[in-house]
Amino acid sequence: MKAILILAILFTTACSSSTVIRSSDPDARIYVNGEYLGTG
């Protein structure tokens, strides 16, 4: 039972990801997939 729980945790964490974008220019224009989202 413990092994199944460990495998389930590994599979759910392996598929997760995050994207962090940091900009020091407050006037930078931000585009995602060609669509304008705003400024930095």
Structural domain boundaries enclosing 17: 2-39
pTM above 0.85, yes or no: no
Residue 40 near residue 28 (C-beta atoms within 8 A): yes
Among candidates 11, 39, 36, which has minimal Cα distance to 23?
A: 39
pLDDT in tens, 3-33: 877 777 766 665 566 777 776 778 888 888 8
| Structural domains of the chain, count | 1
Radius of gyration (C-alpha) of the chain in whole angstroms? 18
